[in-house]
Structure 1
Amino acid sequence: MEVTREKLIKGLIFSLIAAISISLLPILYKLGYRAGMDELGLLQNRWFFGAVMLFAYILVTDRHSLMVNGATLVKTAILGAFFHGVSGIFFLKALRYIPASTTLLIIYFYPVVVTIYASLFFHMRMSRAVIVSLGLTVFGCSLVFCDAFIQELNGKGILYAATAMIIYSAYLIVAQLFLRGEKPLIMTFYMALFSGVTFSFFHNPLKILELQQNQLLIGLFLGLIPTAFAYAFNFRAIREVGSGYVSIFSTFELVMVVCLSFLVLGEPIFIIQIVGMFLIISGIVLANAKIFRKGGTMGSWR
């Protein structure tokens, strides 16, 4: 798979839209906790409402694409029930023991893991620019959350977050394989559906009818923005440029999380975090610099 300039631009745009959308996830989870919602309820609401919204949209725009073969159902069941189901539980468990910023710091070491996976299994060329870009993004992530990481360490929470990071890294690689010949939006719908069904075995789905107005709004927003929007565009980005580049581009989510935490949750922003944001953005720009200068191809996925 040749990553041309046009593909890279599309992949970057799709990745940024996905990153902005997914950055609302920890904010909405925090608001959900404040509203009295529990972990399984938040996860069930997110995937159930996401599946319903995607179904309504597809039914109006392209209902015939809802008819898929067994192989597609198996792939989406694996992505939804296993990867997102299990990683979601570990992510929320981590938030119970360590701050959200510390959790995200650990999870955002995944660009290194994904790029190593991509290099081994897809023969992604590890150019000097890619290596330096990864270094900048990881160092930037560390600076953004270093204060919380130093002061708040809990072994159980760190283990949960590290497990979520490993599972999510594997998901990006598996998703690249599964997306070949598939429609991203349809994949997103069935993935969300299988995730919602899975959590229904552990949390009574009828409790959705008992939600208060503010809880219902949180559930709806969880389904729409960090689920339906985020994963539809994430799948499209992976199909354009592959999981290695998407893992680099999506670190922009950290910048959005810090800004939204300040604006919505009232959490302070420190100078060291601003420096970290600059390094993250520098890493994203560096990943694109070579192909924009030469107008050619910046990597080969064979």
Structure 2
Amino acid sequence: MPYQTKLAFLYVAIGASLWGIIGFFVKELTLTGFTSLQIVFLRAASAFLLFLTWIVVKDPSLLRIHFKDIWYFLGTGILSVSFFNWCYFTTIQTSSLAIAAILLYTAPAFVLVISALVFKEPLTRQKLVALASTFFGCTLVSGLFSAQLELSILSILIGLGAGFGYSLYSVFGKLASRKYETLTISIYTFFFAMLTLFPISGITSTDIQVFRPSVVMNVIGLGLFPTVFAYWFYTQGLQQIDASRASIVSTIEPVVATLMGVILFKESISFVQGIGILFVLGAVLLIQERAGISVQTSAAQK
């Protein structure tokens, strides 16, 4: 496998791993009294300001986009980030975190189908095997088998909406990456997400204290690590590999989240969850290995 391809997979894995630590900051802000939508808004706003600072220092010309291309960023910012977060948190409220997590990780299936239609990416047997392994592994990691919950049709549809919305970042991000730098895609993603979330977040409520030192530190951490760095790495990797492969590799996120819970919060991990982690990691290794073989075969044919 060429060095650039290996690096792209590494970038996607780093980005997804950083997404996996978001629970730490969300947990701290929830204890302070913030609602889910308020936390999502704070994440988008802090990420926007951090990306803006980065671009102003590095190269302000990265802020320039063509008006006709604005739909890329409406896709990543509103249809993906804003929509999937609303669906995800609504599913948590109407069912459970386990159910919400597994429905969210239907995203690779959506990406696989959309990428085949939009990007003409081949729907190979290896991708389907990796997808099945990913879905089964995420199911085990989430603890779904022990949840024993009755779900309404509405909860299932909203949960699938989270997976669909989550998948759209890979699709719109891939399209935008053909014309724009990673930083440009990222800043406009969170600009439109911030504008969309502000009126519905209730962030102006007098009951919350955004400028308390502990809150400010957690908001900066939330905006920097599982957002700015995570989206930069993921989008950077997305420029080099198929959207479907990137989406499957990104399912390492719940594995990282589970391990973080064990290490930082002393949460226990069951034997079944351990098996689930192995299935997810196996899928990630499989999709990389097959990508390497595909690239080598293509090069040999040339």
Give your verdict on TM over 0.5: yes
1:67-97, CA deviations, whole angstroms, 9 ceiling, x for partnerless residues? Answer: 3322344422332133211211111222223
Match of 1:86 among 56, 77, 83: 83
Paired residues, number: 296
Aligned residue in 2 for 1:30: 27
- Aligned residue for 1:296, secondary structure, equals helix
Distance of 2:145 and 2:222 partners within structure 1? 26
1:226 aligns with 2:226: yes
Distance of 1:27 and 1:150 partners within structure 2? 23
Alpha-carbon contact 1:98-1:158 (below 8 Å) kept:
no
Map 1:1-302 → 2, pairs under 5 A: 5-147=2-144, 150-155=147-152, 157-203=155-201, 210-292=210-292, 296=296
Q: What is the RMSD of the two structures over their aligned residues, measured on CA atoms? A: 2.5
Note closer, same or farther for the CA distance 1:166–1:298 as it changes in structure 2 (3 Å cut).
farther
Alpha-carbon contact 2:16-2:250 (below 8 Å) kept:
yes
TM-score, normalised to structure 1, is 0.88
Which residue identity is paired with 2:41?
Answer: Q
Note closer, same or farther for the CA distance 1:122–1:293 as it changes in structure 2 (3 Å cut).
closer
Distance of 2:189 and 2:50 partners within structure 1? 13
TM-score, normalised to structure 2, is 0.88
Distance of 2:93 and 2:214 partners within structure 1? 22
Alpha-carbon contact 1:102-1:148 (below 8 Å) kept:
no
Alpha-carbon contact 1:98-1:152 (below 8 Å) kept:
yes
Distance of 2:222 and 2:203 partners within structure 1? 16
User: Any stretches of 5+ residues in structure 1 without a counterpart?
Assistant: none
- Aligned residue for 1:46, secondary structure, equals helix
User: Any stretches of 5+ residues in structure 2 without a counterpart?
Assistant: none
Alpha-carbon contact 1:111-1:247 (below 8 Å) kept:
yes
Alpha-carbon shift at residue 134 of structure 1 (Å) = 1.6
Alpha-carbon contact 2:88-2:162 (below 8 Å) kept:
yes
Between 1:191-200 and 1:259-268, the stretch displaced more is: 259-268
Distance of 2:242 and 2:292 partners within structure 1? 18
Percentage identity across aligned positions?
A: 20
Which residue identity is paired with 1:277?
Answer: I
Between 1:34-43 and 1:200-209, the stretch displaced more is: 200-209
Which residue identity is paired with 1:251?
Answer: T
Note closer, same or farther for the CA distance 1:116–1:68 as it changes in structure 2 (3 Å cut).
closer
Alpha-carbon shift at residue 153 of structure 1 (Å) = 4.2
Distance of 2:210 and 2:138 partners within structure 1? 39
Alpha-carbon contact 2:108-2:247 (below 8 Å) kept:
yes
1:265-285, CA deviations, whole angstroms, 9 ceiling, x for partnerless residues? Answer: 443210111111111111111
Alpha-carbon contact 2:15-2:234 (below 8 Å) kept:
yes
Distance of 2:228 and 2:15 partners within structure 1? 10
Note closer, same or farther for the CA distance 1:60–1:285 as it changes in structure 2 (3 Å cut).
same
Alpha-carbon contact 1:15-1:246 (below 8 Å) kept:
yes
Alpha-carbon shift at residue 293 of structure 1 (Å) = 5.3
Note closer, same or farther for the CA distance 1:290–1:206 as it changes in structure 2 (3 Å cut).
closer
